[in-house]
């Protein structure tokens, strides 16, 4: 049997929180030769990709730079990727005479879960089985969807192992009411310039009064974010290209087209320069400007 890459998909996640930062996916038209037959019926039944869908798809050499950019010098994580996916990527790059991307590290979740999570919980530990086990739905066998399911499976496994390890210990601990300040309250008192060795009730009242100002300022920030969110929603509805002033990643102004909200404080947008969809946090948005506004601002 000869393998041919017909689709690529990858999701970049933040190392803290594992939330999605950007993604890239594309169908790939395989290079036909005497040894490569049309797609098998089994393959089409599995993922729904047909020869007709691939007719107008780009060839691997057309998207190789995008794949290299999103993979090189990053930690690669996936299910059974050491035995399959990584080899296919290396083969395709060698076929077009280019150096393949090199991972900073590799996390193969199949042997990892087999050693830590155990097959007794979820049968054969295939991605489809794990997806049903955690109620994530059926595996579609499409590159991007399976990458996202892989992330959620890993999160769910980690949660189960964490709860099993600490639940019994947590249940034994009891919370006792005390008239003294707790360690975290002592730290708050120091930061607010109070003497935590004073009477605990008195210090508590002072801390409550001082934090009113902090709460009011937080409401102002929320109001500003709500106003910004409303403006972004209008741009999503009209698919307007805007200039985003952002403090995360590489700080600076970049042209984007807002697409949709992922959750209340995170939105997806198309990066005009790279042609890749990325995710942005609302709290890191310094400002948004239409190109005419930016030109006027620079002339002033």
- Please list the active-site residues: 141
Tell me the C-alpha distance between 98 and 161, whole Å: 42
Which of 264, 268, 266, 259 has its CA nearest to residue 236? Answer: 259
What's the distance, CA 118 to chain centroid?
A: 26
Residue with tokens 């990458």: 147
| Contact by Cβ (8 Å): 101, 71 | yes
Helix (H) or strand (E) holding 11: strand 7-13
Tell me the C-alpha distance between 188 and 243, whole Å: 40
Pairing of strands 252-263, 242-246: antiparallel
- In angstroms, how far apart are the furthest CA atoms of the chain? 86
- Residue count of the chain, please give it: 300
| Contact by Cβ (8 Å): 277, 269 | yes
């Amino acid at each position: 049997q000869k393998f041919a890459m017909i689709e690529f998909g990858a999701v970049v996640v933040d190392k803290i929180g594992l939330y999605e930062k950007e993604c890239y996916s594309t169908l790939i038209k395989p290079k036909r030769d005497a040894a490569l037959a049309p797609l098998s019926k089994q393959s089409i039944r599995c993922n729904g990709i047909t020869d007709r869908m691939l007719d107008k798809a780009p060839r691997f050499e057309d998207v190789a730079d995008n794949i290299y950019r999103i993979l090189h010098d990053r930690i690669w994580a996936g299910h059974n990727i050491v035995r399959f996916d990584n080899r296919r990527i290396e083969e395709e790059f060698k076929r077009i005479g280019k150096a393949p991307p090199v991972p900073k590290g590799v996390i193969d979740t199949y042997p990892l879960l087999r050693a830590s999570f155990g097959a007794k919980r979820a049968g054969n530990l295939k991605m489809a089985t794990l997806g049903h086990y955690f109620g994530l739905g059926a595996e579609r066998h499409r590159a991007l969807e399976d990458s996202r399911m892989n992330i959620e499976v890993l999160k769910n496994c980690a949660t189960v192992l964490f709860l099993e390890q600490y639940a019994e210990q947590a249940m034994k601990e009891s919370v006792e009411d005390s008239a003294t300040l707790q360690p975290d309250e002592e730290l708050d008192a120091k930061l607010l310039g109070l003497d935590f060795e004073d009477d605990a009730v008195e210090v508590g009242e002072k801390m409550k009064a001082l934090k009113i100002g902090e709460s009011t300022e937080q409401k102002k920030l929320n109001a500003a974010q709500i106003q910004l969110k409303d403006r972004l929603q209008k741009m999503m509805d009209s698919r307007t290209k805007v200039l985003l002033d952002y403090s995360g990643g590489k700080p600076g102004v970049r042209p984007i087209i807002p697409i949709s909200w992922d959750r209340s404080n995170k939105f997806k947008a198309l990066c005009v320069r790279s042609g890749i969809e990325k995710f942005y946090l609302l709290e890191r948005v310094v400002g948004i400007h239409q190109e005419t506004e930016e030109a006027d601002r620079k002339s002033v």
